[in-house]
Amino acid sequence: MSSNNLFTPLNVGLLTLTNRIIMAPLTPDACLIITECTVIIPLTSAFYSEPVGRYELANLIIMSPLTRCRCTPDTHIPTPMMKEYYAQRASAGLTIAESTMIACDICRFYARPGVYTDEQFVAWKEITDALLHPGRGTRLVMNNGATPRGPSAIAVDGEIHTHEGKLPPQELTQNEIADIVQQFTPAAINSVEKAGFDGVEIHAAGGFLIEQFFHDVTNKRTDAYGGSLENKSRFLREVVTSVSDPISCDLVGLHFSPLSTHNDIVDSDKAELF
């Protein structure tokens, strides 16, 4: 691009940029702020407050959920390092905490935090004072030998870096699906009431269990949870209900990633799906 063009306005969606210089976060003379979640905001508007649900954000700088693998590996309790990490970023208008386990034996990453024991809630409360379920991507070595579960018995491609390797997941029964849906309810309630979070975000992205139900490469079911788009989204709708009913829908967010292919998530027609 010619240097002369760098200083001409550019339309980006509903926004008009004053120039075409795009800098990293915290650079005061750029026309854009690009956060880690790739939200693009004109610099002149980034520091205005904005109502979101029942809350008023101090600014429009949003920190996206970033897996950091810093909790205790066996008990999945948040650590002082995590408290320091989030406190350092507390000036963001909205911070979405990392992907968090709603039950035991479903660990996708080493040293991933949880929200299912009182010890975890106490540790999270210290952080908030200063949500997945992974499905077919769980690891035997990190989950007391529990077999991975998924919409269908299709393993993630590639290598998993543990001594035990990987096994194909077992297809979830409808009773098991109902049990998982119910696990989201106490996780949501306790995240708000005990851990001190302002709300929860349902992780329907990243190739985790909810997203696995969406796609025809991972969901070969022929029952009420497979086939049509309505059926493949049934699990998500049930999870949304189990989370929003007890804590209020205005405290619930939903995370999609239509363009991601992480964990072998592809689909024959993503345009129709999303």
Q: Is the pLDDT of residue 32 over 50?
A: no
Residue-level pLDDT at 28: 38
Dist. CA 16–CA 10, nearest whole Å: 6
Tell me the fold of 64-273: TIM Barrel (3.20.20)
Mean pLDDT of 109-125: 91
Angle ∠(264,222,201) on CA atoms, nearest 5: 50
Cβ-contact 96, 39 below 8 angstroms: no
Tens-place pLDDT, residues 158-200: 555 454 555 567 899 999 999 999 999 999 999 999 999 999 9
Structural tokens at position 246: 């007890």
Cβ-contact 35, 64 below 8 angstroms: yes
Mean pLDDT of 133-157: 50
CATH 3.20.20.70 spans which residues of the chain? 64-273
Q: What is the pTM of this model?
A: 0.71
Tens-place pLDDT, residues 262-274: 777 878 888 888 8
